[in-house]
Amino acid sequence: MSKERHAESLCRLCLTKTKDKVPIFGKEESNVINLLMLIELDIDPDQERDAIVCFDCIVTLEGFFQFKEQCHENDEYLKTLPSKASVDSTAIDEPRMQCDFLDSEEEGLVEDYYGLEESTLKREAPGGRSKKKGAKRLRSAVLDPDEVERDCVKFKIRKCPSDGPTLADLQILRDSYPDYFYFEKGSRSLYFTLVYYGERFNSATYSERYTYYKCIYRRKHNCKALVVARNDYSQFERRYEHSHGELEERSGLEEYSPRQALPEVFRICRQILAQKTAQRRNASVERKKMKLELSRGEESWELGEEEDGLRNEGSGDVLSKVLHKSGILEGEDDDGEDED
């Protein structure tokens, strides 16, 4: 095999040979390039037109992007707190902020929870510590997908077409499902845990066609095992081995059949992907605004009649396909195997 041919099958980031690949300059080019910008990597399309990245690197970059967003959100929140000098001495023992994503491994948390409704359910923190009054959940700002899409029309930000089934095509409740998977949820849990051949996975990362469930002991035992479920739950792929042996199962969890749990799982998936799409497209709008400002110097600028007409024309758009997502976590065609 020639050196050029061999390089074509290697992931451009980790240099491992893989069949689960995503072309950098393919149909999802803009989405992959946005992720590569996080690591300040510039790849010349003329020199490396066939460059690819693997599933694992895409998942890593997506996780890094979410972590970066959370860090900025935390920073903005901390800036709203009163300075130490302004705090009354009687408030020294006030409770410190606790973040929900540091909770128990088995709580079934969803890693990216953009815009989900606040729950009135209270949970107990690990170690028997009760949650302090006034503790706040930190989360990304919630965007209105319709408003974001109107801005995209206004600034001529085009949609990337999606080949293959959409989320709406996949999320149709079937009459029956295989008996090798079901769901569990505790009385105080907000999200479901997937039980696949007796192994438990949660902390789901969603994309347009796939949901990635990670081992519930991913932090405690640094376990890399995960299950990739097609969003119609007709296909599953188990990846990596557990880093731990059999562990004692939690008690008090209620079992749910796929038909019982999937309507809620589908709802959460749609809501998260709508926000992800809105966040991504809103970033494109902000970049377009910045370019316009830079090109016109310090002078204020207004949109021309053509742009205003486009906005008025698109104002009634209900964004029926707002859940369209890149599928950048997919990698292969619609299997086949191809996404939080």
Confidence check: pLDDT of 30 > 50: yes
Report the pLDDT value the prediction gives residue 281, as an integer from 0 to 100.
Answer: 85
What's the rounded Cα separation, in Å, for the pair 273 and 280? 10
The full DSSP string for 23-37 is ETTSTTHHHHHHHHH
Model confidence at 81, pLDDT cuts 50, 70, 90, reads low
Report the pLDDT value the prediction gives residue 134, as an integer from 0 to 100.
Answer: 46
User: Which class for 3: exposed (0-12), middle (13-18), buried (19 or more C-beta within 10 A)?
Assistant: exposed
Domain residues of the chain, as ranges?
A: 21-78, 157-297
CATH number for 157-297: choose from 3.30.420.480, 3.40.50.2020, 2.40.30.170, 2.20.25.240.
2.20.25.240
Provide the phi-psi class of 119: left if phi over 0, else alpha when psi is between -120 and 50, else beta. beta
pLDDT digits (tens, 9 = 90+) for 257-284: 999 999 999 999 999 888 888 888 888 8
Residue 54 is assigned to a ligand binding site: yes
Confidence check: pLDDT of 310 > 50: no
Q: What is the DSSP letter of 190?
A: S
Pairing of strands 254-256, 181-185: antiparallel
Poorest-pLDDT segment among 171-180, 188-197, 210-219, 246-255:
246-255
Over range 284-309, report the average pLDDT. Answer: 66
Question: Closest by alpha carbon to 56, among 110, 12, 102, 112?
Answer: 12
Confidence check: pLDDT of 336 > 60: no
Q: What is the DSSP letter of 227?
A: E
CA 169 to mean position of chain CA atoms: 20
Q: What is the b/e burial string over 221-238, where b = at least 16 CB atoms within 10 angstroms of the residue's CB?
A: bebebbbbbbbbbeebee
What's the rounded Cα separation, in Å, for the pair 62 and 208? 14
Residue 11 is assigned to a ligand binding site: yes
Report the pLDDT value the prediction gives residue 66, as an integer from 0 to 100.
Answer: 78
What's the rounded Cα separation, in Å, for the pair 25 and 31? 10
pLDDT digits (tens, 9 = 90+) for 46-69: 777 788 888 888 888 888 877 777
In Å, how far are 185, 228, 242, 258, 310 from 255, measured between CA atoms?
A: 7, 21, 23, 10, 50
Cβ 24 vs Cβ 50: under 8 Å: no
More confident residue, 122 or 242: 242
Report the pLDDT value the prediction gives residue 264, as an integer from 0 to 100.
Answer: 93
| Residue corresponding to tokens 């038909």 | 259
Over range 112-134, report the average pLDDT. Answer: 44
Residue 14 is assigned to a ligand binding site: yes
Report the pLDDT value the prediction gives residue 82, as an integer from 0 to 100.
Answer: 62
Residue 57 is assigned to a ligand binding site: yes
Model confidence at 96, pLDDT cuts 50, 70, 90, reads very low
Report the pLDDT value the prediction gives residue 122, as an integer from 0 to 100.
Answer: 42
H/E element holding 211? strand 210-215
What's the rounded Cα separation, in Å, for the pair 216 and 204? 10
Confidence check: pLDDT of 106 > 70: no
pLDDT digits (tens, 9 = 90+) for 213-266: 999 888 888 888 999 999 999 999 998 889 888 887 777 789 999 999 999 999
Confidence check: pLDDT of 101 > 50: no
Cβ neighbours of residue 255 under 8 Å, at least 6 residues apart? 182, 183, 184, 195
What's the rounded Cα separation, in Å, for the pair 49 and 86? 57
What's the rounded Cα separation, in Å, for the pair 200 and 196? 6
Question: Closest by alpha carbon to 263, among 174, 337, 202?
Answer: 174
Over range 286-301, report the average pLDDT. Answer: 71
What's the rounded Cα separation, in Å, for the pair 104 and 86? 34
Model confidence at 212, pLDDT cuts 50, 70, 90, reads very high
Report the pLDDT value the prediction gives residue 55, as an integer from 0 to 100.
Answer: 80
Helix (H/G/I), strand (E/B), else coil: 317: coil
Report residue 6 as tokens. 């061999």
Report residue 117 as tokens. 């409704």
Report residue 65 as tokens. 């992007």
Report the pLDDT value the prediction gives residue 62, as an integer from 0 to 100.
Answer: 80
